[in-house]
Structure 1
């Protein structure tokens, strides 16, 4: 193709980028195909500025983007740059996979590098989208099945659009234009009304996590001390964890063998809290202690009993529940907080480069922003603290929690599922939208571009250890009006924070059994009739 008609990069000028000092990762893109309703799993962010600064900034970005988008198809006089013959377009479903490292999410977002931007450029360069339509996704009825956040991977995702598919070698050409970390697995013809987001029956996510994340908190940490105080006051309030106690005893023994005393550990802790006490000696001791801790955690192998507790906690998410505590800004009475989870499983542990990992598969009808990471975070906290499994079901009630979200590093979209629409597509003479024929290629891609990056990043940065260490050392947020997480885990919340729940329980005791049963039957959400599918944002 002549260099003069190569598709130009739509990057904002440096002046515009300077205007955008803060990128809204999941912001609504300017020339997107739509379907980005903030009320459905994606909260509006930044529109609360009283001076309208955010709105003005977005307006400047949109104007700059509009100008550059038009420059793709019009010359300086406003005349069309191209006059290509019209070619027939067909509605298709593109089955794709990508490694999200280095990208600001899936969805097109002006001024940022996204997966959709790379895809759209490849479609135009290969002639699948005409150059006359190269300035606007809406012209091609472009839609994605699931949005993914910054850095999140997808072994399988789907985009639907109207595309020129006359070239028999289109698939090979697309993959040649795309970076190696973005692949198109297949292109399937579909009927004109097909919408990969609305017609997606459910989605499967995978979350990879080192098994040492299930170890109990350090006894000297604020959370460890809180758990010990709770056990002393009420021995039956938490599960007994002899294995966890023995692991920390071994940790202290190894420290002693390597010349680090309890006084040294205390000295490093004080220097961490108060930087004025930090010296070269405490810095060196701190590094040595961290190296020993990392070594012992990498050698840890999870017991079947501990893994069983984690599995049981995750299983409690199955069915229809109110996940208002598992996203941002969602009130208990907001009906969009109710989501249907079909199945959650945890693999047997496997060892990669000396560290033991587990794979968690989450199959749900739809997900809200941060929902999966918060689900994993709470289940892990329940397993590692000895808290009652009731804490999972308590989180679905009208209490307010600030559940910590597990690191994004371990999350990837496995695939969207199209059970219902595939039956209709078959009747129309089309093939199923299904990832099964590409399982071998997808597995190799995950090993090379997703799993290896996750493992390497954890070894280099200790992301998971850093996350749980932060949680264990968290001393609380006085500005948070809900239940403190430490109190929630140990069951200390019901006396003062869950009054409405206690009132309901008291009413049940004073009402006839028939009345209680009738009320519950009228208000419950059945698990066999899932809600209408909502877009995924995790």
Structure 2
């Protein structure tokens, strides 16, 4: 082999050989240099930051500093800026996981839970805003409710009150007057009762053992439907077919007869009463107008108002009997224990495991009179509740007493058949308080005080009387809310095929009651059963 060929053979490069010269390159090699795209993105980010700082500085100098507001929470916090226009962070102060015990009147609020729309008033929006103003939350965290790990023990719907509820979050509580400062920033209808230290992993919703709700009901709601209404005519028909399947109601019959006589004594004739009946028909096209086009009330409208005024006055003077009250107590007892409440909420199927709920107890107080109207207080102690569940439970128990059928019919609503149950007015509903039986034992082992509302009984009772009970009584007296609800039920005409494609209405279910229960005679029940 020639010398030239030998040199050539020694310099042959194969595909699987590595070029050692690559490793001798400096940090500007193609493997380590900054990509063009990364450099452009970084420059753009730096430019946006500089422009933002200049804009904030200009707005600050003009007196229009940025208000750091997120859709998740309204805040009045305005960040102070340094000479470059960047926000100055507040001093870091220790935060502690806490349970905050609160009470509120839900009138004027769109429920407890915060909404994305800042124009919608909610309890949480005002509460979290007060935390920030009082210094219980840092200014940076005051703009977002999620930053503090906020959670509520129980949601309440629009207009629903709470004598006691619990929210859990991280708070700055080193100030001994922090509760007073928070309350000073809150409207009078929202109060903080106490703040209790908890473990770091405390979640007031998940660790809540049970909840107690109260519902205030005027006893006239237990009266039978008015003669001539759709429901009254249906009951007459079914009683005639199967008289043994319904309870007699001489008390209710006598009350309506006396009320009818009061109307006649006021100079109103039977012919006029018959004409008024047309007004009560929701779909009546021949009803005489009660107001003119200009809004002025007609003579016929004045007659309607006179009859309603007499009936309303008679309702307010109604005092229920012990027997009727015992029937209602027995109806409420049907809910105790574990049942499938899929018919007592919305959007739940019978096979959905989450529809099964455990009710620990139900109690109905003795009647009490407020400004001439007799009321009862119903307390429901349950492990957990679904949307509208309590209002539907109250409506169903009340309706069973009104129509005079056995209270055990409520058990049929736990079955797999879909039945649409109306929900009683939100006016009478309030959350009494959440209960933390199991978790309080953990707190006591760590030398923490339990989450207990009993030490605030005096303040809570005074608050309930002024901001909850009195508002309920006053609104019912002014608006006749419960009569409006049950009066609508009595005149309701259901059409299962057109209006309720997802199930039968409660009225259609009752139409079939006589055929289903024909072999089950009614048994008298007492409160001891």
Which range, TM-score by smaller chain? 0.7 to 0.9
Aligned to 2:97: 91
- CA drift of 1:300 comes to 0.2
The answer on 1:343 being equivalent to 2:361 is: yes
Higher deviation after alignment, 71-80 or 121-130: 71-80
C-alpha separation in 2, matches of 1:493 and 1:85: 73
CA displacement, residues 389-426 of structure 1 (integer Å, 9 cap, x when unaligned): 12210000011111010000000000000000000110
CA contact 1:189–1:430 (8 Å) conserved in 2: yes
**Residues 477-536 of structure 1: CA deviation (Å, up to 9, x unaligned):** 3331423322423553866xx9xxx9xxxxxxxxxxxxxxxxxxxxxxxxxxxxxxxxxx
RMSD after superposition: 2.5
Deviation at 1:263, TM superposition (A): 1.6
Question: 3-state SS of the aligned residue for 1:166?
Answer: coil
CA contact (8 A) 1:267 1:282 kept: no
| Aligned position for 1:483 | 504
Aligned residues of 1:119 and 1:178 also touching (Cα < 8 A): yes
Note closer, same or farther for the CA distance 1:134–1:493 as it changes in structure 2 (3 Å cut): farther
In 2, the alpha carbon distance for the partners of 1:7 and 1:361 equals: 48
Question: Is 1:382–1:489's contact at 8 Å kept on the other side of the alignment?
Answer: no
Larger Rg: 2
Shift of 1:305: 0.3
Contact 1:73/1:80 (<8 A) preserved = no
User: 2:201 maps to which residue?
Assistant: 193
Q: Report the 3-state secondary structure (helix = DSSP H, G, I; strand = E; otherwise coil) of the residue aligned with 1:95.
A: strand
Q: Is the 8 A contact 1:483 1:493 kept in 2?
A: no
Q: Secondary structure of 1:344's match?
A: strand
- Given that 1:129 and 1:163 are in contact with CA atoms closer than 8 Å, whether structure 2 keeps it comes out as yes
Distance in 2 between the 1:122 and 1:350 partners? 37
Query: Is 1:328 aligned to 2:346, yes or no?
Result: yes
Cα deviation, residue 329, structure 1: 1.5
CA contact (8 A) 1:346 1:359 kept: yes
SS at the partner of 1:131?
coil
Question: 1:521 maps to what in 2?
Answer: none
- Residue 5 of structure 1 and its aligned partner are, at CA, apart by 11
Once the 2 structures are TM-superposed, how far is the Cα of residue 268 of structure 1 from its aligned partner? 1.1
Question: What is the deviation of 1:81?
Answer: 2.5
Distance 1:262 1:76 in 2: 82
Is the partner of 1:373 in helix, strand or coil? helix
**C-alpha distance in 2 between matches for 1:470 and 1:128:** 48
Cα distance change on mapping 1:80 and 1:473 into 2, 3 Å? farther
On the 8 A contact 2:79/2:87 being kept in 1, the answer is yes
How many pairs align? 441
Aligned to 1:140: 148
SS in 1 for 2:92: coil
Which of 337, 340, 349 in structure 2 is aligned with 1:319? 337
How far apart, CA to CA, are the structure 2 residues paired with 1:493 and 1:220? 21
Kindly indicate whether the alpha-carbon contact (under 8 Å) linking 1:157 and 1:413 is maintained by their aligned counterparts in 2.
yes
CA–CA distance in 2 between the matches of 1:108 and 1:340?
A: 28
Find 1:441's aligned residue among 442, 459, 475.
Answer: 459
| Separation of aligned partners in 1, 2:513 and 2:397 | 18
Q: Is the partner of 2:419 in helix, strand or coil?
A: coil
- Give deviations 1:423-449, integer Å, cap 9, x for gaps: 011001111001010011000000000
CA contact (8 A) 1:330 1:337 kept: yes
Q: TM-score, normalised by structure 1?
A: 0.78
Counterpart residue number, 1:104: 110
- Are residue 400 (structure 1) and residue 418 (structure 2) matched? yes
Aligned-pair distance for 1:71? 8.7
Match of 1:353 among 366, 371, 383: 371
Map residues 136-535 of structure 1 onto 2, 5 A cutoff. 136-273=144-281, 274=284, 276-279=286-289, 280-477=298-495, 478-481=498-501, 482-489=503-510, 491-492=512-513
Matches of 1:493 and 1:396, distance apart in 2: 19
**Partner SS for 2:320:** coil
C-alpha separation in 1, matches of 2:432 and 2:371: 23
Q: Structure 1 unaligned segments of length 5 or more: list them.
A: 12-29, 33-67, 503-538
Q: Secondary structure at the match of 2:131?
A: helix
| Deviations, residues 28-64 of structure 1 (Å, cap 9, x unaligned) | xx638xxxxxxxxxxxxxxxxxxxxxxxxxxxxxxxx
Segments ≥4 residues shifted beyond 6 Å: 4-7, 68-71, 74-79
Deviates more, 1:228-237 or 1:257-266: 257-266
Distance, in Å, in 1 between the alignment partners of 2:247 and 2:364 is 21
Q: Is the 8 A contact 1:144 1:197 kept in 2?
A: yes
Structure 2 CA distance for partners of 1:9 and 1:71, relative to 1, 3 Å: closer
Deviations 1:223-246 (A, max 9, x none): 001001101111112111111111
Q: Secondary structure at the match of 1:216?
A: coil
Which residue in the other structure is 1:509 paired with?
Answer: none
Is the CA contact (8 Å cut-off) linking 2:68 and 2:78 kept in structure 1?
Answer: no
Task: Give the distance between the partners of 1:485 and 1:176, measured in 2 at CA.
Answer: 48
1:12-161 alignment, distance < 5 Å: 31=72, 80-111=86-117, 112-161=120-169
CA pair 428-329 structure 1, distance change in 2 beyond 3 A:
same
Cα deviation for residue 80 of structure 1 reads 5.0
TM-score in terms of structure 2 length: 0.79
